[in-house]
Amino acid sequence: MPKKFVSDFNVTENIALNETNSLIRLHTSVTLPQILPGQFVNVEIKTAGIFLRRPFSVFEVDYHQNTISLIVKILGRGSAKLAKIETGTSLSIMYPLGRHFTFPDKQEKVLAVGGGSGLAPMLFLVRESGLPAANVDIIIGAKSASDHVDISSYSNFGNIHLTTDDGSLAVKGFVTQHPLFSKLENYDKIYACGPDGMMRAVAKKAKSAGVFCEVSLENLMPCGFGVCLCCIEPTVNGNVCVCTEGPVFNINDLKWQI
C-alpha cells in the first residue's frame, strides 16, 4: 500500500456551493504525494463530542500550489462543522488513503454516476481520465434542484446529465432511470459513488449488461488504516476493511445480492 502521511493543512477557501455543500480548499507546506481519483483523506475535526476523524473523497489536487480540495456535504455533526469552518483554520489530515479507480484506456467510452457526497470522486476521475469529452457521460443525481451543485464547468470533460427524484430539474427519477441506462452496452467502463442503494442499482444494471463496473463505498472509516474494523465489507475474498482494500471495488468482488 502507498505510504500515508499526516500533515497540517490551512483552510484557504470555504465556498458555499448550496445549502448543504461546501468547497473546502486546503494548503500544506509539505510536498504532496500522488493522490488519485477514488482515494480519500481523514480529517481531524476539533470540536466537543467529535472524537473520530471524518473521511472525505478528494475532489481536486494542485501539486504546484500544494493544495487539495474537498466537497463537503453536510450529513452529521462532523461534516456540518467542517462545512462552516473559517479560512485560516489549521486541520490535521491523514492522506492519501485507500485504493483508487482503474483508469480507462485511451478512447474507451465511460459512464460516471454520482449522487450525494459521491459527486467529488466522480468529477476528479473524469477530469484526470484524459479521455475526450465526447467519450464521457456524467450522471449526477439529487433529491431536488436545490440539492444540485453547479458543475457546468465540467462540460469540458464530459457530457453532463442530471436527475432529480422529484422532477424539479432535468430528468425525473433515480439515476438508473436516466435514458442512458437503456444502452449501457455502449460503454466500456462504468463508475459510481453515492448512497448505497444507488450504487447497488447501478451495479445491478452494469452486471446485467456485462459491463466493467467499479464503485466507491462510503462505509464509516474513522481510522483509515484497518485497525478500528468499523468499515468491514463482505467480499468474495472474505471480510475486508474498506479503508485499506477499498474504497473502490469491482462489483464482481462484492457479495451484493444483485
Please state the domain extents for the chain: 5-97, 110-253
Query: Which architecture does CATH list for 5-97?
Result: Beta Barrel (2.40)
Which pLDDT does position 31 carry in this prediction?
97
Asked, colleague to colleague, whether 5-97 and 110-253 share their fold, the answer is no
- Class of the 110-253 domain? alpha beta
For residue 92, the model assigns a pLDDT of 98
Q: What are the DSSP calls for 57-80, one per residue?
A: E--EEETTTTEEEEEEE--SHHHH
Low-confidence ranges of the chain (pLDDT < 50): none
For residue 119, give the C-alpha cell. Answer: 459527486
Are the beta carbons of 38 and 216 closer than 8 angstroms?
A: yes
Name which of 37, 176, 38 is nearest 111 in CA terms: 176
Residue 64 CB partners (closer than 8 Å, separation 6+): none
What's residue 51's pLDDT? 86
Burial class (CB in 10 A: 0-12, 13-18, 19+), 18: middle
The tens digit of pLDDT for each residue in 192-243 reads: 999 999 999 999 999 999 999 999 999 989 899 899 999 999 999 999 999 9
For 128, half-sphere exposure in the C-beta direction (CA atoms, 13 angstrom radius) is: 20
Question: What pLDDT was estimated at residue 49?
Answer: 83
